[in-house]
A = this chain, B = another copy of it.
Amino acid sequence: MSLPHAILTALLEKPSSGLELTRRFDKSIGYFWSATHQQIYRELGRLEQAGHIRALPSETPTRGQKKEYEVLPAGRAELAGWVDRTEDPKPLRSALLLRLRAAAVVGGVGLRDELERHLGLHQAQLDEYLEIEQRDFPPERRDTEPDRLRHLVLRGGIDLERFWVEWLTHALSELAG
């Protein structure tokens, strides 16, 4: 049950409309939690219902009109409570690793190409994160506690992409030999 907390975090960083949130989930927020606009609109409705957020006042609150939300004190309290909760890490689910294991049983022809394709995708993602790191976290901006935390999170995304790049590279060399 993390999507509402991801949205609360995003809204605390900056009040936004549903579509703006969707864009932020496609970029910076997406490297630790992804969501589609349909999920986001549904969750915004629930959070408003629960009194955790509210729509900023506007004259014409109709369909097709931008609707911005901000977090209410109850929402901030809910998020603060959630941060201190403990939760075990979710086990991995990788369709690619599963394909490899299946290929060990039934054989696989085009798997090499698929590994190369994934290598390209992860390399591109890694490059993008490294650009974000250079732009948003230059050495002089890593002083305050919040900045250190945000940088740590990005670092997680970076290291994870590095893991994939390295493992895929290794896998391709193993399959070649």
A contact residues vs B (CB 8 Å cutoff): 2, 5-6, 8-9, 12-13, 29-34, 76, 79-80, 82-84, 86-111, 114, 117-118, 121-122, 145-150, 152-153, 155-157, 159-160, 162-164, 166-167, 170-171, 174-175
In the complex, what residues of B have CB within 8 A of residue A167's CB? 155-156, 159
Contact call B97/A83, Cβ cutoff below 8 A: no
Cα-based distance from A34 to B97 in the complex (angstroms): 12
Q: A100-B153, A148-B174 are in contact. List 11 more A-B contacts (CB 8 A).
A: A9-B98, A9-B102, A9-B105, A32-B93, A34-B92, A79-B102, A87-B95, A104-B146, A104-B149, A104-B153, A156-B167
